[in-house]
Amino acid sequence: MEAGEASPLNPLLRKLGTIAALTEEDRNTLRALPITIRTLQPDHDIAREGDRPTQCCIILEGWAFRSKLAGDGTRQIVAFHLPGDFPDLQSLYVPVMDHTLTTLTSVTAAVMTHQSVRELLARAPHLAAVFWRDTLIEAAVTREWIVNMSVRSAKERIAHLLCEMHERLQSIGLAQNVGGKPVFPWPVTQARLAETTGLSAVHVNRSLQELRAEGLLRLSHKWVTMLNGPGMRALAGFKPDYLSLRPADDESVAA
């Protein structure tokens, strides 16, 4: 594996590499983006519903999530974002936020102005297409979440989410393998998992217990071990095609 230059934007390059083939020129163009690195506390709103951001950020480290507030005050999480994601790129073209973007963990982010992103996209139409593709894949994920919410049982919903997040973490090199079992970080409390799956926190708790009792997973101290990956995928009806991940070039080697 060619050692990439050390650049704070490497997580972005890695992520984009999972959905498109980047040329060395692309990488250099991206590395040249004028960014400011910022560290954000957990539970910090990056942009709120109704805001008109003038900046965009790329997540370099940590997790974030999007949520919407329903009329009765219930909060629904509609997406998770991982290192390399560009979660508010959309504010370039849809100025008013339709949802709130919040850090889940402590997050290191690369912040840049809309202006500089516009210039990048104008200069590199090829990269604009890559980002558009990213938008489209995210839409596909959102569609899958609709299916998750509406047709699957509590256990299935949770299992499906875990499968999806594992797949995504794996693709960016953030999942490990311990004794042949996938292990990955899970900074999601049961209350947040409830807001994600449309279940009550109590029922999430009980469903998790069943998943544990069936020997499918271990989950404690903010880490998940998939004890029985195939079993989880079967239970969840998980088929990863909708993520449109490219077959890994070097992922297998990297670990």
Partner DNA sequence: CGTCATGTTGAGCGTCATCAACAGGAGTGG
Partner DNA sequence: CCACTCCTGTTGATGACGCTCAACATGACG
Least distance in angstroms from the C-beta of 220 to DNA: 7
What is the DSSP track for the chain?
-PPPPP-TTHHHHHHHHHHSPPPHHHHHHHHTS--EEEEE-TT-EEE-TT---SEEEEEEES-EEEEEE-TTS-EEEEEEE-TT--TTGGGGTS-S-SSEEEESS-EEEEEEEHHHHHHHHHH-HHHHHHHHHHHHHHHHHHHHHHHHHHHS-HHHHHHHHHHHHHHHHHHTT--EEETTEEEEE----HHHHHHHHTS-HHHHHHHHHHHHHTTSEEEETTEEEES-HHHHHHHHT--GGGG-PPPPSSHHHH-
Pick 183 or 248: Cβ nearer a second copy: 248
Q: Minimum Å distance from CB 117 to a second copy? A: 12
Residue 230 binds which of DNA, a second copy, none (CB < 5-8 A, kind-dependent): none
Q: Which residues bind DNA (CB under 7 A)?
A: 153-155, 189-191, 198-203, 205-209, 221
**Smallest distance, DNA to C-beta of residue 11, A:** 24
Q: Which does 208 bind (CB under 5 to 8 A by kind): a second copy, DNA, none?
A: DNA
Smaller CB distance to a second copy: residue 87 or 184? 87
Looking at beta carbons only, is 71 or 247 nearer to a second copy?
A: 71
Tell me the closest approach of the beta carbon of residue 15 to a second copy, in angstroms.
16
The partner in contact with residue 37, picked from a second copy, DNA, none with C-beta cut-offs of 5 to 8 angstroms by kind, is: none
Nearer to DNA, 41 or 252 (CB): 41
Q: How far is the CB of 186 from a second copy (least distance, A)?
A: 21
Distance, in Å, from the CA atom of 25 to the CA atom of 60, rounded to the nearest integer, reads: 21
To a second copy, the closest distance from the beta carbon of 65 in angstroms equals 12
Binding site for a second copy (CB under 8 A): 50, 66, 68, 70-72, 74, 76, 78-79, 90, 93-94, 96, 98-99, 122, 125, 128-129, 132-133, 135-140, 142-147, 149-152, 197-198, 237, 241-242, 244
For residue 123, give the nearest of 28, 19, 16 by alpha carbon: 28
**Strands lying side by side in the sheet with 223-226:** 176-178, 181-185, 223-226, 217-220
Q: Judged by CB, which is closer to a second copy: 229, or 237?
A: 237
64 vs 154 by CB, closer to DNA: 154
Contact partner at residue 206 from a second copy, DNA, none, CB < 5 to 8 Å by partner kind: DNA
